Amino acid sequence: MLSDFIPFFIQLGIAVGLSFTLLKAAALIGPKRDNVIKMTSYESGMDPIGSARERYSVKFYLVAMIFIVFDVEIVFLYPWAVSFDEFIAAGAGPGVMAVVLFFVIILAIGLVYDIKKGGLEFD
């Protein structure tokens, strides 16, 4: 059973090894001209120094939530797209297509609602 996971472990090894190798290589090979900005740790664009209880704009959450929704949508759609051939072969193509469309429409409704309520307007 464990042997089923061999490709997974291989991919894991490659991912870890590659990132480690690249980072290390950059540190070894690249020139080092440090200044204050450069030495600051990276926090997705936020200032890392100061109160941790800082208030963020609510827009930040709205965008993040929409992002996650569509991110998860991909997780559902990808396996469906891969196995759609089999549904067509089994003669259930249109029905399954309709189901997925329904799913996408639900998400679209959410997007429409969000836009209409001004969730994507930055000012």
For other proteins, the binding residues (CB under 8 A) are 86-87, 90-92, 94-96, 99, 106, 109, 112-113, 116-117
DSSP state letters, 22-53: HHHHHHHHS-----HHHHSPP-TTS--SS-TT
Q: What angle do CA 24, 27, 28 make, to 5 degrees?
A: 85
Least distance CB 37 / other proteins (angstroms): 39
Select 16 or 69, whichever has its Cβ closest to other proteins.
Answer: 69
H or E segment to which residue 23 belongs: helix 6-29
Distance CA 79, CA 72 (A): 12
* DSSP state for residue 5 in the 8-state scheme: G
Least distance CB 98 / other proteins (angstroms): 9
Least distance CB 110 / other proteins (angstroms): 8
Select 36 or 90, whichever has its Cβ closest to other proteins.
Answer: 90
Select 59 or 84, whichever has its Cβ closest to other proteins.
Answer: 84
Select 30 or 91, whichever has its Cβ closest to other proteins.
Answer: 91
